[in-house]
Amino acid sequence: MRQAYIAGNWKMYKTAAEAAAVAGALASALASETGTKVMLAPPFTALHAVRDALKGSRILLGAQNACAELEGAHTGEISLRMLRDAGVTVVILGHSERRHVYGESDELVNRKVRLALAEGFEAILCVGETLDERQSGVTEKVVEAQTRAGLESVSTTDLAKVTIAYEPVWAIGTGKNATPQDADSVHKFIRGVVGSVYSAAAAQAMTIQYGGSVKPENIRALMAMENVDGALVGGASLQAETFLPIVKYDR
Ligand code: PGA
Q: In terms of Cα–Cα distance, which of 103, 164, 179, 99 is closest to 134?
A: 179
What's the pLDDT at 175? Answer: 80
Angle at 235 between CA 132 and CA 66, to 5 degrees: 80
Name the burial class of residue 223, with classes exposed (0-12), middle (13-18) and buried (19+) by CB atoms within 10 angstroms of its CB: buried
For the whole model, what pTM was predicted? 0.97
Buried b (16+ CB within 10 A) or exposed e, 94-116: bbbbbbeeeebebebbbbbbbbb
Give the side-chain half-sphere CA count within 13 A for 175: 0
Per the DSSP assignment, residues forming a β-bridge with 166 are 127, 210
Ligand 1: centre distance to CA 105 (Å): 20
CA distances (Å), 116 to each of 88, 109, 154, 171, 238, in order?
11, 10, 11, 27, 25
Ligand 1: centre distance to CA 9 (Å): 7
Ligand 1, atom 6: closest residue by C-alpha? 234
Distance CA 196, CA 193 (A): 5
Atom of ligand 1 nearest to the CA of 213: 5
What's the pLDDT at 33? Answer: 72
Query: Would you give the end-to-end CA distance of the chain in angstroms?
Result: 19
Helix (H, G, I), strand (E, B) or coil at 170: helix
Atom of ligand 1 nearest to the CA of 235: 4
Distance CA 20, CA 115 (A): 28
Distance CA 156, CA 140 (A): 23
Q: Which of 97, 122, 133, 167 is catalytic?
A: 167
pLDDT per residue as tens, the chain (251 positions): 899 999 999 999 999 999 999 999 999 999 987 789 999 999 999 999 999 999 999 999 999 999 999 999 999 999 999 999 999 999 999 999 999 999 999 999 999 999 999 999 999 999 999 999 999 999 999 999 999 999 999 999 999 999 999 999 999 888 887 899 999 999 999 999 999 999 999 999 999 999 999 999 999 999 999 999 999 999 999 999 999 999 999 98
For the chain, the helix, strand and coil percentages under 3-state DSSP, each to the nearest 5? 45, 15, 40
Question: Does residue 128 line the site of ligand 1, with CB under 6 A?
Answer: no
> Where do the DSSP E strands lie in 97-228?
122-127, 162-166, 207-211
Question: Does residue 214 line the site of ligand 1, with CB under 6 A?
Answer: yes
What's the pLDDT at 179? Answer: 93
What's the pLDDT at 174? Answer: 84
Q: Is 152 a catalytic residue?
A: no
Q: If you compute the radius of gyration of the chain from its CA atoms, what whole number of angstroms results?
A: 17
What's the pLDDT at 141? Answer: 98
Q: Is 100 a catalytic residue?
A: no
Q: In terms of Cα–Cα distance, which of 114, 120, 121, 164 is closest to 144?
A: 164
